[in-house]
Amino acid sequence: MSVVPTIRPRAVVASRLLAALTAALCGVHAVLQGSGAASTWRPCFDEGFDSAICLDLQYTAPSPWWTVLGWLWFLELALAIATVALTARSAPRKGARLGAALAAALLIGFSNTVFDYAGTPLINGGYASADNAPGFGYLGAGLLAAAAVGLVVAALWPRRR
C-alpha cells in the first residue's frame, strides 16, 4: 500500500504569504542599503580612493541607524528559514518553490556584514582600507535583491495540476 502525501492548503497559503512578506522586506532593505552605499561612496569613485573626502569617509563611524539594517537582516533570515520550513511542509511536490526559498535563505545569509566586507575589494578593484573600504554595502544590497527575487518565485510559483 502506498501512501500519497496530501497537499495542505493552509500551509501552502501561509508559505506563499510568508515568502511574499520576506521578499518585500528584502527588497526594501536592498533599496535602502544600495542607495545609501551609492550616495556615501560616490565621492570615492568620482575623485579617487586617495582623495581627502574619500579617506575621511573610510574612517568615519557609521550612524546609529546602521544597526537597524543589521536587526532587519536577522528578521529577514529568520523569516526566510520559516519560509523554507513551511514550503517543505506544504505540499508533496514543491520542487522549484523549495529550491527558490532555500537559495533565497542562503543569499540572505551571505548578505551579512562580514561577507560584504570581504567582498568589497571585488567591487572597487582590489582597494582595501582599515575600516570601511569604498563600495561597502553594494554586495550585500545585490545579494538581498537576488534573495527578494527568489522569494517572489517561491511565493508565485504555480502548482502542478
| pLDDT tens-digit readout, 76-100 | 999 999 998 888 887 666 677 888 8
Alpha-carbon distances, residue 34 vs 21, 135, 151 (angstroms):
20, 10, 19
Distances in whole angstroms, Cα of residue 77 to Cα of each of 26, 82, 113, 138: 10, 9, 13, 19
Record the cell numbers describing residue 133, joined without a space: 573600504
Cβ-contact 28, 151 below 8 angstroms: no
Q: Are 152 and 23 in contact (CB under 8 A)?
A: yes
pLDDT at 25: 95
Using the predicted structure, report yes or no on whether residue 16 has a pLDDT greater than 80. Answer: yes
Q: What is the dihedral of CA 75, 81, 82, 88, to 10 degrees?
A: 170
Identity of the residue numbered 74: F
For the chain, what are the domain ranges? 9-156
Neighbours of 46 (CB within 10 A): 10
Does residue 67 sit in helix, strand or coil?
A: helix
Distance spanning both ends of the chain, measured CA to CA: 23
**Predicted pLDDT at 93:** 64
Does the predicted TM-score (pTM) go above 0.75? yes
**What value does the mean pLDDT take over residues 15-20?**
90
What single-letter amino acid sits at 58? Q
CA distance 132 to 138: 12
